[in-house]
Structure formats: structure tokens, C-alpha cells
Structure 1
Amino acid sequence: MQGPLPHFVGRSSELGALQQALMSAPAIVVVDGEAGVGKSRLVIEALAGLGGVRQLRGGCEPVQEPFPLGPVLDAVREHALRSPLPGRLSPVVGALVPYLPEIAAALPPAPPPLGDPTAERHRLFRAVLAVLDDLGPAVLVLEDVHWADAGTGEFVAFLAARVPARLAVVLTLRSEGSAELPIWEALARAGASTRISLDPLPPAQVGELARQLLGSAELPHGFVTSLVEATAGIPFLVEEVLRTASDLSAGLPVPTALRDLLRARWSALDDDTREVLSAAAVLGTAPDEALLTRMVGDPARVARALSRGLAAGLLHEQDGQCRFRHALAWQVIHEGLPPPTRRWLHLRAARLLDEDDGPRPVARLTHHYQQAGATTQFVRSAEAAADLAMSHGDDATAAHFLVPAVQVATLPSADRVRLAGKLARAAVDGLAHSVAVPVLTDLLVEDELPSAVRGELRFMLGRLLRQQGDAEQGYREIERSVDELADRPDLMARALAILAVPDLVVDRPVSVHVARGAQAQALAAGHPRVAVAVGIARTSLAIEIGDPSGWPLVEALSRDPALLGDPREHARACINWAQAALHVGDVARAESLLAETREAVDEVAYLRFAGLVDLIEAWVDLSAGRWDGLLDRARALVRTPREFTAAALDARFLLASVLCLAGDFDEAEPLLRDVVAEAARVGAFRPLAPARTQLARMLLDRGQPQAAADEATRVLDIVRIKQLWPSAADATLCLLDAMVRLGRPDDARPAVDELAASLRDTEAPAAHARLVQCRAELASDGRLFDDARRRFTDLGLRYEQADAEARLGRHLAARGDAAGPRWLEQALRSFDTLGALGGIADVRRTMRGLGVPVPYPWRGGRQSYGAQLSPREREVAALAASGTTNREIAERLFLSQRTVESHVANALRKLGGHSRRELATLLGLAANT
């Protein structure tokens, strides 16, 4: 049981918000604030008002064993030991049997092992999600998430995107120092969280808390002001200060700073009590009393010291265990120990733990040996902890243990080589790039590293640099690693597969990438998983270059059992193919692959993929003409912190593209120039070439044809080196349009002829449609203009279709053909449907120049539906009314769940409803009015 709770004062709005969220499952709530501000107390008060709801509580600790999802599984275990589990649980819950042996009898049978730690880890995620769903209605509380291990943090992010319908999740964490936690990115993507930030109490509530704690209706004059100054209004500090105030008329205790107050309490204790509590502090914020007794050697002495610590307010009792009352109380005692004493106590604790039978508590051993300065034992324990984490598929936790171990200055060469190899395998997925890059760079300086280890480290460094956005530098490191990996054909094949990706660098022609892919395929023979990775790279390259064999190869590989049996590779394949389809203008295939990608990513629970899917989805919607809310989504994607700098650059390019197509050139131009400059700095072909093309088009739309021609020429210069000709079509047309404006269309003819020759025998539908437009402009041929229009219509490229309609209309109207004005009006409708203000303005200028009347309502603005439902809102509302979930609607309509939620909310507001249950009736009434 927890000790007596302090009085609860104020927080009425925060309490109401938390209770409302808990009663509105599915929900995820973050309660944050500085230490001592009352986060846990707020949660306790909110839970006290819930009836008939299961409550599961777990907490994260500063030092935690590398046990998968420890805090979450602790919450499930403790609840199951108190209350029976539901009679019928999902079969996948059986995957929890090895992790929860205490309640195994109440769980379904354990499924057969998968033989792959990563796959086991993903199944564990799904099993925990299923049991939380089966336990509903329920509330899961995870305290101190700022201390969460990497695996728990990854699961929380996984859960945030798919909270079961009858579950509410509450996360508490400290606001200080937590801004960079990955959980914020995950919650932003999920788009369904509530954040309750607790501030210190105002003076009036500090006074009320003081009166309740002191049992006095009257307080001395000026007392509250002094109390606020001493405590900053933090409830825990108020309680601690008042605990020492025996005579209010004498003022507040001196010193009043909490750290000094705790030191004063510590100094007031007798020597024996301080000695025992010093040993307790070495064991952590929640000291193991059995181990403490072994360290001290006298149970009565331990009991006496703990009792005195409780009385002094340095400890408190929670769930039958003595804990330090506040993290600062533990810190004051631990840091106040003389360094030799502290090291000796840590060494004593480690040796006692090492003597125990049963599984070694490797995380605690690592911590104690490191604090003791026992480097040999520290490295041994850290490696054991890393091995345990990797056996669970938790690379992030493994890397957490390996980095400090490999940096030990006195580490023998053989140990450094062994640990470096393990770190290389864990670094890419396990470490923040800011940590991993300098660690790997330093290791590569070591002379004694064998070639194979050096090659593996360099390969991982190259991958990390790529993900940071340093495309050229990363590519160079991977190239250098190839020769060093001669004894590791499997790893060499993976390195060569990455070198086969054409987007990475500007100065390697496609022929080099093709050759690298062929080398990789030869090396991958006999390594099925490597062969899959190589196959993904080669098929993606084939699509990008317009190789007609590309899509048949994709169809064959997508049915390969080796791919389908590896959810992570399946997700990566779908992502790569969807992007390649977009690059060549095949929107239908991109949409189909995106739907498959969502399913694969949902199965694999890999958060980095989820962020890429959001970005690709936005590009698909832009291409397909689904622009409702797209600008806001693009801004959100830019604001969302991204672990991959390269993805962050793509997000900025997306926003710039949306702004350009919407006609907002003033905001788009500096952003687009920044993207071009950054892509040029890091040497990435993509987004450099398409961003320069977009910049050229924007300059032309702003009435700067010469600047546009110069920029388009730069794109073509890049493509001539790269030989990735499907990427040159838009720039070629832009160059031609600029030369037409300058009165020199024949100056662009060589570029058009070069494009035509380069695209011969390629399957690049959007590029071929652009080439037809170029020929139409040069030949002034109406049939070619109409051919291009039909091609873009068939491809589903709605902006390009509108542009083609405008070009056809301009050509016909200039010749006096009566169909010309009709096509110009159609182009206005198409641009208006998209919200492409720049396109509307351009067509209006064309119509005025040709003497064609400009019809109402196309005056440069987008249609406003006012209180009426837009077509998309009605479509979403109808699906919601039929019982389709937001996720299912999102998958069916290729929208994000956040966009679906927005459409449902708008529909309810416009129809005057309050819940989804009313939508069917409201839509029926609206249809009859």
C-alpha cells in the first residue's frame, strides 16, 4: 500500500480533462510537468472516480534489466495476480507465456518460436496489444516514461497509433529534458493524444494546501508569499518545507531550498543510520531491502535505519517497499558520498549480485561495476546485457550497453574488436545518429581492427550518414567498405545493394548502379535473406530507370515466400516500390503499394517506416489530386521531428511543392531554395533534381523565363551525368516553355530530341506524356496536345491533367476552334477542384490574352462549401455512419487517420450532431432537405 497521500488542491480543470479523456476511450493522455509538481497524484485522483474499469499500472526505473517491455508486462502481471483475466483471450496472447510464467496457466498456449528475434519482438508487441484489448474497458498507466528503456518507448509509440477501442493510456513524464524523447514524434503521428501539462500552483492554492497540511485556518501575514518564493509553488516542495516548520511565527525553516533542506535532514541523522542509507542510495531510488541487508549484515540495523529515514521524510513506503521520497533525496545522498566510499559500496553490491544463483541481473551489474570503476567486470556485464537485449530483438538497448563498453580506454584489443562488431550490428537501429557517428568514426581509427570488422563498421557508418542526410559522404563510406568486406560476401552484397540505389548521389551514372546491383546479386546466392534485400534494390532501380522488366520482376518478388516471411523486408520493399511508382508517375500502382505498405508496417511495428509512410501518402495524395487538408498535413510533416534528416528534407520539399502548386510563391520560394541548397550540399540526386525543376517552374510562373531556363538547364546537366532520364521530362518541358516565352522555342529542340532518344524503349509513363507535350508545343499539333491530356488522365495525375487541358484549350482557342474556350473552362474547373490558385490565374491570363470571356466563379479562389458538406466530407461521413472505423476509412480512401478524424468532426459540426451514431440519421435528413 502507498503511504498517506498529500492533500489534493486545485487542478480542477486538469482533473476534469484527464477524467474526460479516460472516459472517452480509445485515448492516450500524456501528463507532464517538472519533478514534484503532482503528476502521479493527479492520476490517482482521476482513477479514483472510475468504476468498473480495470486499472493496470507500471513504472519505469533509471536502471532496468533488458527485459522486453518490462514496465508494461509488470502492469499486466500485477493486475492478473490480483484479478482473474477474461475467460477468452486472443490466441496471440499466448506469446506472453515465456515472459509471464507466473500467470501462464491463465494464458492461451504459447505459439511455436519464429526463430527470428526481430519477428519475435513484433509478435510480442501484438500480443501485449491484444491482451490490453481483451482486458478492456481498462486504463493503463505508465509512470516516469522519461526513464523508459528503448524497447518500452518503441512499444508505447506502437500502441499510440493503434490504441484498442476500450483502452485509455496515461503516460507521466517529466517535462524537463524530455522534449527530444521519440515518444513525442510517435504521438504526433498518431494524432489522437491529449497532453495535460501541470504548472506550479498559484499563490492562492499554495495557501490552501498549506492550511490543509498544517490544519490551521489562519496563516501568518506574508507566510504564503515566502512559501511561494521558497517552493516555486511545487506541491512536493511545499509539503517538504512545511514538514520542517514547527513554529510558523518564526518563519520558514532555513535553508529553504529543497536540496539544502534534504541535506539538513540527512545531517541530522545519526552516523549508523547514514551509513545504512548510504548503502541504500547506492542500490537506487527503490533499494532492494534483501540485498541491502546482505550488504549491511544486520537485519535489525537495516530496519532501524529505514524507519528513521521514513521519519525524517527522506524515504516513504510504496507498495510495501521503502523508496526514496523524491529522486532529489536519493541524488543528494548518493552524490554526497565520498568517491572512494561510493565506489566501494557499488563494488560490494555488484559482487553480492554476482554471487546469486539464477539469471544474472546484468543491467544492475553493469551499473554497479561501472560506478565502482571495475572496468573488466563492467565490460563483461555490459556485453552480457547487450547479448540479452539482442536476443530479444532490442538493438536499441543493446547499443545503449555497448557504447560505453567499447569506449573503455584500457579495453584489450581482442575485446574491442569483438564489441565493435556487435555494436556495428546494433548501431543503425539502436542509436541516435549523434551518438553513433562519432563512436563508429573513432573505432575506425583503430589500427588493430581486422578488415572484416572495419568493413562492417564502415558500412554501418555509411548507412548512418545516409540517414542523417549526408548522402554523398555516406555513399563514399559504403563504397570504401566493399573492399574491406571481401571475407563477408553476405554483408558485401548488402552494401552493393545500397550502392545500386540511384537517388543517393549525383555523380554516379545509372550504369554504375546497375553494375553494383549485378555484383550484389551474384554475391547473394546462397543467402536467402540477403537475396531478398538485393532483389528489392534491383527491382526499385529497374522501375526508376524505366526498365520494362521492372514491374514483372516486382510481381515475382512480391510473391517470394522469403519476402513474405520477413515482415520488415516486406514493408521496406513496399515503401521502395511505392516511391519508385510515384517517381515514374504510376499513381494507381503507388496507391496499391501504399495500401500494402500500411498492412506490412502495421505488422512489423517499425516506427521509422511509419513516418515514411505518412510522407509517401502525402505525395500520393498530391499526385492524385486529393488536396483537402494537404497543406496542413505538409506543414505538420515538416514540424514533426524526424530521426532521418533525409526524410526531413523530403518533407520540406513536399511543403514547398504544395505551396507552389497552390500559387503561394512568396512562401514557397525561400523554402524551395533552401531545399535545393541543402540537397546540393549533401550531394543527393533526389530531391535536388526535382526540387530544381520545381524552382524552375515557379520562376517561370513568376514571369522570369530566363531564370527558369537557366534552372531547368542545371537540372538537365545533372541528369546527363546521372543518366536517369525519366527525371528530366518535367525540366525539359519547363525549358521549352521558357524558351517559348523568350521567343526562341527552337533553342529547346536539342533538349527535347535528347529526351526522346533517352526515353526510347523505357516504361516511364509520366515522362512519355511530358515528351508528347514537348512535341505538341514544337509542332503546334492539337492531336498531340489531346494525346498528352488523355495520358495524364489515364495516369490519375490530376494537376498534370488540368495543365494538359489548359494547353489543349490554348492551342485550339488560338486557332479559332470553338472547342478551345470549352477546354479552357474545363481546365479552370480542374484547377479549382484542386485548389491550384496558380493554375487558375495562369488560365485566366491565357483567356484574357485570347479574348475568351472568363466565366464566374473562377476568380482565383477555391470553392467554399460553407455549412454544406464537401464531397470528401460526405464520403467519409457515409463510411463512418456505416460503422467503418477511422483506420478502415483511411485505408480505403488513402487518407491519414488524422484527416479522417477531421472530416468526421467537420461533418458532425455542419450537421449539428454530437456522435458518430447520429451520422446515418443526419445524412438522411440532409439528403431530404
Structure 2
Amino acid sequence: MDELFGRDEERGRLTAALDEARRGMSGVLVLRGGPGSGKSTLLDHLQAGAAADFEIVRFDAVESEAELGFAALHQLLRPHLSQLPKLPDPQRAALGQVFGFEERTSPPDRFLVALASLGLLDARADDRPLLCLVDDAHWLDEESAAVLAFVARRLHADAITMVFAARNHPDRVDHLAGLPELAVTGLDTDAAGRLLESAVPGALDPGVRDRVVTSTGGNPLALVEAARELSADQLSGEASLPEPMPLGSALERVYLREALALPPQTRTLLLTSAADPTSDPNVLWRAGPELGFDAGAAAAAEERSLLSIRETVRFRHPLIRSAVYYGAPLAQRTRVHAVLAEVAADLGEVDLRAWHLAAAATDPDDVVAAELDRAAVRTRDRGDWTGSSSLLARSAALTPDPHARARRLLAAAEASAVAGSPGRAQALLDEAAAYRDDRRYNGLVQRVQARIHRLTGAPAAATYALLAAARELGPVDIRLARDILVEALVQAQISGSLAPPGATRRSVAETVRSLPLPAGMRATTGDVVLEADTAVHLEGLAGAGPRLRQAVAAVRQEESTAPELFQLLAAACSHATVLGDDVTLHELAWRLHAEAGRQGAAIPMALALSHTALSELIAGRLDESERLFDQRTALEEARGSQLYLGALLIAAWRGRFEEARALAEAVREHADRTGQGYQLVFLDYARCVVELSQSRYEEAYLSLAGQIGELCQAKFALADMVEAATRSGRQDEALGLLELLTRLAERTPVPGLLGDLARARALTTADPSSAEKLYVQAIRHHEDVRGPLRRARSHQLYGEWLRRERRTRDARHELRTAHELFDAMGAQGFAARTAQELSAAGDSLPAGAHAPSGGGELTPQEARVARLAAGGATNGEIAAQLFLSVHTVDYHLRKVFRKLDVHSRRELAARRDRLTSA
């Protein structure tokens, strides 16, 4: 029987995806359709012959396994574990934890597991194309769904095709959203009629055929099952048809009737197969003697195509499994689970044993609940937060004491939030929140609520909840309350200027003041950080300076094993920028980067990349800053999001003005949509750079004027703002900014700020003799600064001043020095401005020497790969930094070489000014 009637378009798309892999490129497709629409049949078609030259791995997800984290990943990757040694150590260790090969003190980072999975599949595809089939992907466990979606998004030049078959499921996070899709709907009338005719063994009356086709809406499964269910007389038109036709839930009743007609041993075998989430025939045969069936019992079920038993146990359709399981009496189900628990114990599967014991329990049972708790801890330590949440929720259901039940529900909600399931986490939390008994518990409920808000991209709501948690906990557990306030501080920093009243950093400061550390209680580093930030927002920078420096020093001394290390380092980086301390920012940002890399933690790495990229940017090390921003952007893309801020800052400094203006709009839209107001000050800074490099002083001043103040994160721009104010005739504003810069440099006398202060004073003084001494002083200070940017700007402004003083020979020397520095760092906007000043001073540069970098021939991904290759990174290092496969990196690099007509990485490095995207 040809089961692909009317599927020409679908077969064409699938064939195209396979052909891409045969050419060494990846193919990804999500088949979307309702139950019985033919998605599984299309996968069967691929597996049966269309992909005969592929290595094929397949996983058919089922609802009962959606609670077993990494279940699909185990099935899909287990055949490829021989490739593990090819992975970098952190990736190998993370995947080893998931598979139980390694033990660590903390769960593996899911992002690192995803990157390892990509590398594993990519390595496997070296020998022959690989086809990954995932049926009923809407029932994938949360962890596997996130990892497989990551892999699908990052495939490009890999001989891998991934095909997912899924229904829309509004109650679950759709990790596959955004991947290429094809809707699989009912067959048209002609194809549906031909399918029905092929499924009927005898005569089929045309009128009956038309009525069945209409009643089923062309649904292939319903058509085939109607052919099985209807009698020969009904199909021939000699007997009336049932009303209504057996569709939807009625199909389950059809399957149940079919199962009930089987011998008792076969029914028990079917029920045992439906109850076993491993689909392992070995489990089935071990349980058989105790439950009264043997291998012969499978024959009757296989004859009716209800299931097949080969390497795995597979039902013909998930509805059969559901019908068999839920159609069995409760007593039979509990008996089967009890026996499966014994089998799991014999196999050493202690967590699976606990799961079956829970399913077998019909009354509250503290002993089983406690065993589930222990299993939840082990499951969590392998990174399976979904499984841990499910075990805890079942443990709660078996707990007779309401207080203990509430705490287990709360733990289940927290685990579900960490797993990335906000809907399930909220449902569990709502149930847990109904047990309001003491302030500590209520505060913990608010803390979990904050994590759910953070998961759904609502930083302000997360801050509200964290502050509520701290206030509730304060009277009963001040230590925990203040630890939570450190979380609130970081969340409020993310919201920045978009934080609503009650969720600002000042709100956090006020809450900290209302919850002082009791006398005699040892202050932690978190306390020191909190008090410093509180002083800044309630007393101003003048009084808070010493406390900020004390906080930074305390974070410096913090051990790498500190549980809140990432939050503390992020807060300290923020404090360093408020102090204008570029030296400390560089040190702390790179420590955050090192610790995040060592622990393989994606979210802390995102913070680290932002801080390190900024540190390199303000030093003028634009190539390194761009590399870090590229990695930050790639990380967001791999997580299914976008971030344009780094590209904006680099475009502004590279002198790509039109690109910068377009990116500015994208940054503003993203910040408004996500509530990430911290981006806006850097957006305004980028605008200031664009305008200042074109000598548009009024526009430059107005770009950043609203953001500059004592608490501003862009203190490195103060001297630039003094220049913009002075040149636009805003002398009073310039003097106000100079006063702010003076106070800042007095508190933080690092070379960068001291040089900025000297330059700002030179700009505002009317005495030529004093101005010259100050410019020279600025240059000397800036010679001690890491990176060339500040020194280049001081030479530039000194040269411009000399030209206006009609000292053109001296001016040319300073301007040439500035131009060489700007040109070397790739700051082509300021290089062009300096070249204009040189021309006005009677000097000139070779034609094209100061043209803004161009090219525009490369895609954004090609440009990122090219920049890293030009910097000396190997293909493996590039793949790790941009979260790509090695094959994809090699593909992009070959295209870069061809487009730029270069033949080596050395030549590529020499063409670095062309490494921009269209």
C-alpha cells in the first residue's frame, strides 16, 4: 500500500533537506500537523528508503517520558558516544555528566551540553551523512528539546539532516519555533479517496468513500483506521455507517477495543510496554515471568500491528499506548509498576525504581516520598531539572503532612523554573503558594516567582518579587534576605533606566537600609557590595566612594568556590565603571570570564563577554573588543535571541555611520521590548561617538547629556562630553562636567581618569600656556593607560589646538601621531576627522589612507569567522567561541578566502580592514 498519496510537496521538501546533507550542508525541517495527519508516515518514508545512504537515528517521544530529562538525548546520542574524545574537555565533561560517566559537585550547564551535542553529531557525520528523526517532538522533555533546537539552529555546513514531527502544544514552550516549517494537513479529496481505497481489502462503495473522506477531513490516520474499523458490509454500502465516525478520542476507544480482544497475556504485555518509559525489550522480558507473559505473547499484538519489538519496543501510534495504559484498571497499572520497580532495582536503576514505586503508590507514603526526594537530588546533579521537578511533584502528592507537601511542591516549582518551563513552574508554584503558613516559606515562594519572571524576560517583575521576598524573610532569616537582595541588585542593573518605580536600584537600596545586618553577625562579601551600592544611591558618589572601593577589594579576595561569585563579580564590574576605574574593570571582567569558562556557565559567560568587550573597547583594542562582542552575539543567537549592542558600538568606532544608525534603532527596540534598559546608556554613547568623530559637537553633546551623571556607567565618556559641550558653546555645561570629572579623578586616580581630567581642563581653559601644559600632561598620563584610544584622542585634540594657535608644524606632528594610532586600531571615523585637520594644517595622507573600512562582501557570520581566523584562532577555537561546528567554520572560511581572494590566514590578517559584513 502506498501510504504517501497526495504528499508530493512534503516529499519534495524532505528530499531537498536530504540533498543538502549529501552536499555537505545541513537540512532542518519541522513537520507541523494535528494527530494522524501523516507526520509519522513521512518519517517512516525517510527511514525506509529515501535516506538509504544516511546513518539514521530516531527517537519517538511519548507523553510519559516528557518528565524524564535528557531522555531523547540519551536515545539519539548513545550510538555516537565513541566520538566523545574528539570534544573539548569542558564539553566532554558536561555530556559525561548527563550520561552518568562523570560526577561533579554542580549540575552541567545546559548550554555546554548543547554545544557538546553539536560537536558529537558533527564528528559522527564525518563518515557518512546523518539523519536525525524526532517524532512527536511536542512531547520531548524540556532539556532534550532545548538542546536539539540549539543543534538545529547552529547547523550549517554539516552533513546532517534533522526532521522533527510535532503538533502545536500551547501549554509547553515551543523550542522549535523559528526553525523551517512545513504544515502537514489533511489530504485533498482525490488523494484521501485513493488512500481509503488502498486500505480497504474488499469492495468500497463510492458514496461510502465520499462520506468517510468528508467525515475524516482527509486525515490519513482516521482514514486507515476507518478502513480497519468498518465492516465489509458497511464499506460496500450494504449496512449503515456508524454515527459519528470514530475520530479523535473515539480512535482511542477503537484501539482499546482492539487491545481488549487480545489474549490476557498479550494485554498484560501491552500494558507493561506502555508503562515502561525505557522502551527496552530486556526490561519487558525481565518483568514477564512475574506478570505472567513471555515472548510468545507478543505475536498477537504484532500480527495486528499494535506494536513491534526489535531493538526497542515501539507502538504503531502514540494513541495506542495511551489507550492501553489509561484503559487498564488502576489495580493492574499499579501491579505492573510495582514489578517494573523490582526490575529497575535489579538493573541498578535506582531513580527509575523510585519513579515506578511512585506510580505504584495509591495512598500517601512517606517512605516512597523520601526515596523520590533522594532520586530528585541525583537527577538534578546530572542536569535533569525536569526529571527532578517531576519526582519532587510526585513526592509531594504522596506526602501526608501538608507543610512537608508544600515545601516539596515549592522545590518542584523551583526545579521546573531552572529547567526552563515557566508554565509548569507557575502551576506548581500556585499550588505551593496556597499553603501560606510562615514568613520564611512565603518569602521563598516570592523568590521562585522572581525566577519565573526572569525566565519569561521580565526583569522588573523579577526585581519586584525579589524585594518582596527579602522583606518577607527579613524578620525571620536576615542572612537569606540579604543574599536575595544581591540577586535583586543584579536584576535592577539589567532594567537600568527602564525600571519602573519600586524596581529601581534605589528601591533595592532602600530595602537594604530597611534590613540592616544585626550586630554581631559577620558581614559577607555580598553585604559589603550591598552597602556600597546602597550608599551610592542614597548618599551619592561622594560619600559612597570609599565603600565602593572596599566592595571591589572584597570581591577581589572572594574564593572561586563562593556560591554567589558570578553575581558579586558582575556587581563589582558595575561599581568599577561607576568609579571610572578602567584598570579594575579589566581585572574583574576577565576574572568573571575565566570563572564562567572554567565552570561552563552560559549566563555568567554572557555577562563576562559584555564586561570584557566594554573594557577592551574603551582601551581602543577594537579587534579584541569586536571578537568578544561577536562571541556575545553568537551566544544570544544560539539561545534563539538577538543582541545588537556590541555591533552598534563597534560600528560607531569603526566609522561605519549608516550601519550604526540602523543598529541604534534595533538596540532601542530590543531594549524596550525586553526591559533591558542598561543598553540605552551605551546606545547614547555610540551616538555620541558617531557625532563626535564627524565634528558634530551639538549633536554629540545632546546624544549623551541625559545619561551623564554621578551614577552613570559611561564615565569614560566624560572628557568627550566636555569637548562636545565646549565646542558647541555650552561653557556652563562644560564646567559642570569638568567638576564631576575632577571629583571622580580625585577618588579614583588611575592614569586614564587623570589624563582625561588634564585634557578636559585644557579644553576649558582660556590661557594658552596652561592649555599646552595640560595637553602634554594628558598625553603623559595616557601613555600609562592600557590600549591606545585615550592617548590617540589626547594627541588629536592637542594637534587641533596647535593648529588653531597657528603652530602648524607642531600640529602636524601631533595629528600624524593621532592618525597612526586611530588607523592602527581601526577607528576610521576619528582617523578621517584627524586627516581633515591634517589637510587644514597643510599636510596630507596617501589617497585612501583614511577611508572607512569597507568590503560589505561578507555575511555577518563570515565576518565573525574571518576576524577570529585573522587573529590566529584555529578552526576548533573559532567553533567553540561562536558556538558552531568545525565543519561550518571551515565552510565559512573557504567562502571568505574566495570572496576576498586570499590564500592564507596571514593574507587574511593583512586584509583585516575588509572583514566587515554587508
CA contact (8 A) 1:759 1:768 kept: yes
1:528 match = none
1:453 match = 441
* 1:488-532 residue CA offsets vs partner (Å, 9 max, x unmatched): x4x45633554676937755499989999995998568xxxxx78
2:408 match = 419
* 1:56-114 residue CA offsets vs partner (Å, 9 max, x unmatched): 6665443239777444445677789xxx999999999999999989xxxxxxxx88x65
Which amino acid in structure 2 is aligned with residue 62 of structure 1? E
CA contact (8 A) 1:837 1:860 kept: yes
Larger mean CA deviation between 263-272 and 599-608 belongs to 263-272
CA contact (8 A) 1:33 1:39 kept: no
CA contact (8 A) 2:684 2:704 kept: yes
Larger mean CA deviation between 395-404 and 746-755 belongs to 395-404
1:745 shift after superposition = 0.5
SS of 2:387 mapped into structure 1: helix
1:244 shift after superposition = 8.2
| Alignment partners' CA distance in 2, 1:787 and 1:899 | 50
Which amino acid in structure 2 is aligned with residue 885 of structure 1? T
| 1:625 paired to 2:622 | yes
SS of 1:816 mapped into structure 2: coil
2:497 match = none
1:325 match = 316
1:747 shift after superposition = 4.0
| 1:754 paired to 2:740 | yes
Shift in CA distance, 411/58, structure 1 to aligned 2, threshold 3 Å:
same
1:778 shift after superposition = 1.0
Percent of counterpart pairs with the same letter? 17
| 1:42 paired to 2:31 | no
Larger mean CA deviation between 37-46 and 166-175 belongs to 166-175
Matches within 5 A, 1:343-422: 358=345, 359=350, 361-364=353-356, 366=358, 383=373, 386-390=376-380, 392=382, 394-402=384-392, 412-419=401-408, 422=411
| Alignment partners' CA distance in 1, 2:887 and 2:756 | 34
1:774 shift after superposition = 2.6
Shift in CA distance, 24/696, structure 1 to aligned 2, threshold 3 Å:
closer
CA contact (8 A) 1:30 1:170 kept: yes
Which amino acid in structure 2 is aligned with residue 737 of structure 1? A
2:63 match = 62
1:812 match = 802
CA contact (8 A) 1:32 1:196 kept: yes
2:484 to 471, 477, 495: 495
1:663 to 657, 661, 669: 657
Shift in CA distance, 464/621, structure 1 to aligned 2, threshold 3 Å:
farther
1:147 match = 139
Shift in CA distance, 149/856, structure 1 to aligned 2, threshold 3 Å:
same
SS of 1:397 mapped into structure 2: helix
| 1:606 paired to 2:601 | yes
1:473 shift after superposition = 1.6
SS of 1:118 mapped into structure 2: coil
Larger mean CA deviation between 116-125 and 85-94 belongs to 85-94
| Alignment partners' CA distance in 1, 2:308 and 2:436 | 54
Shift in CA distance, 805/573, structure 1 to aligned 2, threshold 3 Å:
same
Which amino acid in structure 2 is aligned with residue 904 of structure 1? L
CA contact (8 A) 2:648 2:663 kept: yes
| Alignment partners' CA distance in 2, 1:156 and 1:448 | 41
Which amino acid in structure 2 is aligned with residue 42 of structure 1? L
Shift in CA distance, 609/143, structure 1 to aligned 2, threshold 3 Å:
farther
| 1:429 paired to 2:408 | no
CA contact (8 A) 2:138 2:166 kept: yes
Shift in CA distance, 840/894, structure 1 to aligned 2, threshold 3 Å:
farther
| 1:734 paired to 2:721 | yes
Q: Normalising by the residue count of structure 1, what TM-score does the alignment of the two structures yield?
A: 0.66
1:319 shift after superposition = 1.9
SS of 2:747 mapped into structure 1: coil
* 1:142-181 residue CA offsets vs partner (Å, 9 max, x unmatched): 7445434345456668988999x99969574526449985
1:106 match = none
CA contact (8 A) 1:712 1:731 kept: no
Which amino acid in structure 2 is aligned with residue 64 of structure 1? E
Which amino acid in structure 2 is aligned with residue 753 of structure 1? E
Shift in CA distance, 735/921, structure 1 to aligned 2, threshold 3 Å:
closer
Matches within 5 A, 1:183-198: none
1:904 shift after superposition = 1.6
1:749 shift after superposition = 1.5
CA contact (8 A) 1:675 1:688 kept: no
Q: Normalising by the residue count of structure 2, what TM-score does the alignment of the two structures yield?
A: 0.66
CA contact (8 A) 2:722 2:734 kept: yes
Larger mean CA deviation between 811-820 and 236-245 belongs to 236-245
1:608 shift after superposition = 3.2
Shift in CA distance, 510/857, structure 1 to aligned 2, threshold 3 Å:
farther
| Alignment partners' CA distance in 2, 1:886 and 1:625 | 22
Which amino acid in structure 2 is aligned with residue 147 of structure 1? W
Matches within 5 A, 1:855-866: 857=848, 862-864=853-855
Q: Which runs of no fewer than 5 residues in structure 2 stay unpaired?
A: 495-502, 913-918
1:673 shift after superposition = 5.5
CA contact (8 A) 2:253 2:323 kept: no
* 1:537-593 residue CA offsets vs partner (Å, 9 max, x unmatched): 999999996966777766654xx5x53xx8x87777776777777777777887787
1:715 match = 707
Matches within 5 A, 1:817-828: 817-818=807-808, 819-820=810-811
Matches within 5 A, 1:778-857: 778-779=764-765, 781-785=771-775, 788=778, 795=785, 804=794, 806-818=796-808, 819-820=810-811, 857=848
Query: What is the alpha-carbon root mean square deviation over aligned residues?
Result: 7.1
Shift in CA distance, 312/155, structure 1 to aligned 2, threshold 3 Å:
same
| Alignment partners' CA distance in 2, 1:184 and 1:331 | 24
Matches within 5 A, 1:837-916: 857=848, 862-864=853-855, 885-889=874-878, 904-910=893-899
| 1:745 paired to 2:734 | no
CA contact (8 A) 1:802 1:830 kept: yes
Q: Which runs of no fewer than 5 residues in structure 1 stay unpaired?
A: 102-109, 189-193, 526-530
| 1:473 paired to 2:464 | yes
1:107 match = none
* 1:807-852 residue CA offsets vs partner (Å, 9 max, x unmatched): 3443233222325467667767877788878767877998999999
Which amino acid in structure 1 is aligned with residue 657 of structure 2? G
CA contact (8 A) 1:874 1:907 kept: yes
| Alignment partners' CA distance in 2, 1:205 and 1:585 | 74
* 1:444-470 residue CA offsets vs partner (Å, 9 max, x unmatched): 574413x44344444444565567411
1:907 shift after superposition = 3.0
Shift in CA distance, 432/846, structure 1 to aligned 2, threshold 3 Å:
farther
1:479 shift after superposition = 3.6
Shift in CA distance, 816/435, structure 1 to aligned 2, threshold 3 Å:
farther
1:757 shift after superposition = 1.8
Which amino acid in structure 1 is aligned with residue 64 of structure 2? V
* 1:854-877 residue CA offsets vs partner (Å, 9 max, x unmatched): 99548985433879xx99988755
* 1:742-789 residue CA offsets vs partner (Å, 9 max, x unmatched): x33034423421331244132566555543443232126245446556
CA contact (8 A) 2:870 2:906 kept: no
| Alignment partners' CA distance in 1, 2:309 and 2:603 | 38
